Chains A and B, each alone.
Chain A
Amino acid sequence: MSVLEIKGLHVSVETDQGTKQILRGVDLTINEGEIHAIMGPNGSGKSTLAYTIAGHPKYKVDSGSILLDGEEVTTMTVDQRARAGLFLAMQYPVEIPGVTVTNFLRTAKTAIDGEAPAIRTWIKDVRESMARLRMDKSFAERNVNEGFSGGEKKRNEILQLELLKPKFAVLDETDSGLDVDALKIVSEGVNRAKENTGLGLLLITHYTRILRYITPDFVHVFVDGRIAEQGGPELADRLEDEGYDRFLTESNVG
């Protein structure tokens, strides 16, 4: 049984105006098979948490730790973390010129598994996943994210989630910019990945609408760099009705 533990995490970033503290003591434990939703206002530090888990070099861990099955993650390189079983579906996926989706997926799969996938089953897996995510076959030969619409980029992230089979995935606002149909397709993809591999999920979102399709076990309200409140799915409904106002009384809006 896998577990991802975040303990007392403090993170800062260097800006032109000096060091800026963003995360101020995050504690969170995610077990395999659990879905945790993190909700919070703009600028509260949600993406920072996601990038810090993935190891983005801009974010400096001042104290605290992230443990994957007891192993310290914060000292690993970005690619080591991915190979250890962490996955980040990005809020703004990057375009990679000159690298086709097919080539990229095969290279990533080979890196993560430590060996090249068996050609025939791999091609079939890719094709089927793309079909389920309603991605046209032509995407396979396009350069990664180049000229993709916002929704297509998000599908491409979930395609990778399905194929790379991580132990834990952080989805950073995967729902934003999706229309209802795309939201359903993407949510189905996430649910399918979870059924097939039993991965644990950290679902970062600004709105509750994705939670209609992906039911969280836990909801955390994130404000000003830390978790301000947690509860079950009912907390999401409350946030839907009341907004974040009651959490923002004394802290800045960012």
Chain B
Amino acid sequence: MPTAEQHGIKEHSDGRFGFVPVQTRSDRFKSVNVADFAPVTGREAVWKLSPVAKFTDLTAGELDGSVYPVESTPNAGITVGWVDRDDSRIGTAGAPEERAAANAWSSFDQALAITVSGEEAKEVTVTRAGLGSAPRGAHTIIDALPFSQAVVILENTGDARLTENVEIILGESANLTVVTLQEWNDGAVHLANHFASIGRDARLKHIVVSLGGSIVRVNPSVRLAGPGSEAELLGLYFADAGQHLEQQVYVNHDAPNSRSRVTYKGALQGTGARTVWIGDVLIGRKAAGTDSYEQNRNLVLTKGTRADSIPNLEIETGDIKGAGHASATGRFDDEQLFYLQARGITEEEARRLVVRGFLSEIVQQIGSAPLEDRLQAAIEAELRGTEEE
């Protein structure tokens, strides 16, 4: 007999203490040199949920580190250009914790630097569409000078076999939004590590949107380095048949009175659709007055999918304002479908309604109206995509 229960929903949330990982997150080995890492086996903490056999070229092979075609929309106050490896900003936001990232770091010829200055609001879109299908390593710097403000949209389309590092540096009181949009071709493989360092009273909004590509792994790692700094990390992913979409989020509260919010939402549809979300939050000894919350929600639309969702919370100081996490994976089930259909709504429209509603919480927070509209359209296309199969 149909009941009101939400079938198949697993939920847990708590107010304060989470799982304690074996090793403190900040103690992980780091190096910019690929030779310092042993060959990847797939048993490493960072790799254990990834299909490592499908991209040994990126973890173990030689990479093309040359410059590639980039297009960017012109904007006063934002410069986009190539800089040499000895640029003083390189290495200031973080360093690789795994072999693919280190391989990229060891390989790139020049780094793409996006430098933001000026207090007025502005937006730039940087597009990569011609990376080709040979294995590649790349490095990007996004440097928001003190008191500057901007929205930086990184758009990724076309073919790619790419491993890369993106350093995001926020000076004092900077206010930066970074959107990284993965709309790769079907066969693309993309492994990205974003390292952000946020200065005093600065605010980063970081949004990962992964829709297209075969294997897309974008791991943002954010250090709240200055007192009063703030990070809002958002993510939206839609995996369809055979796609692997992964994100390992790490927030390191390393200064007093810092604040973080992590919200990732994903939909899965089609056989073999696979998503991974790992959210590590570390509240360090210096981080008195921290306010932190992370959550991940997945919506399962069909059978044959798998969503991993693993929140971790480590607290090294007692003096915090709040810390919590939540993770839930729910199914769009037959009873929900029946309810909507019983109100005259067709099955197709019902699915659209639910997914659009579920993901729009993230889309609405992007803060660029044209991009929000485009993403809504992309989500609709994702929904139609599997229907046609």
Contacts and interface: CB of A to CB of B under 8 A. Distances in A.
A164 B344 contact: yes
Interface stretch (A78-86, A183-191, A219-227): A78-86
A26 interface: no
A188 to B, nearest CB: 22
Contacts of A104: 340, 343, 353
Contacts of B6: 95
A79, A93, A160: most-surrounded residue (chain B CB, <10 A): A79
B355 to A, nearest CB: 8
Interface stretch (B29-37, B156-164, B205-213, B330-338): B330-338
B342, B344, B354, B355: most-surrounded residue (chain A CB, <10 A): B344
Interface residues of A, number: 36
A111 interface: yes
A47 B339 CA distance: 15
Interface in A56-90: 56-58, 77-79, 81-83, 87-88, 90
A82, A97, A104: most-surrounded residue (chain B CB, <10 A): A97
B343 A97 contact: no
Contacts of A182: none
Given A92-B4, A93-B4, A99 B353 contact: yes
Contact of B344 (A82, A90, A96): A82
Nearest to B347: A79
Interface in B268-305: 299
Interface size for chain B: under 10, 10 to 19, 20 to 34, or 35 or more residues? 20 to 34
Given A78-B338, A82-B343, A97 B1 contact: no
B335 A94 contact: yes
B299 A96 contact: no
Given A97-B354, A98-B299, A90 B341 contact: no
B316 interface: no
A51 interface: yes
Contacts of A111: 343-346, 349
B2 A164 contact: no
B26 interface: no
B3 interface: yes
A112 B2 CA distance: 24
A100 interface: yes
A81 B354 CA distance: 21
Contacts of B353: 99, 103-104, 107
B147 interface: no
A112 B342 CA distance: 10
Given A93-B4, A96-B354, A98-B354, A79 B339 contact: no
Nearest to A88: B342
A63 to B, nearest CB: 22
Nearest to B4: A92
A95 B343 contact: no
A56 B2 contact: yes
Contacts of A176: none
B357 interface: yes
A12 interface: no
B339 A94 contact: yes
A96 B335 CA distance: 10
Contacts of B358: 97-98
B357 A100 contact: yes
A37 interface: no
Contacts of A100: 357
25 contacts: A55-B341, A55-B342, A57-B334, A58-B2, A79-B345, A82-B341, A90-B342, A94-B4, A94-B338, A94-B339, A95-B336, A96-B354, A97-B357, A97-B358, A98-B299, A98-B355, A98-B357, A100-B357, A108-B345, A111-B344, A111-B345, A111-B346, A112-B343, A145-B4, A153-B4
Q: Nearest 9 A-B pairs (CB), nearest first?
A: A98-B357, A98-B358, A92-B4, A78-B341, A111-B344, A108-B343, A82-B344, A112-B344, A99-B357
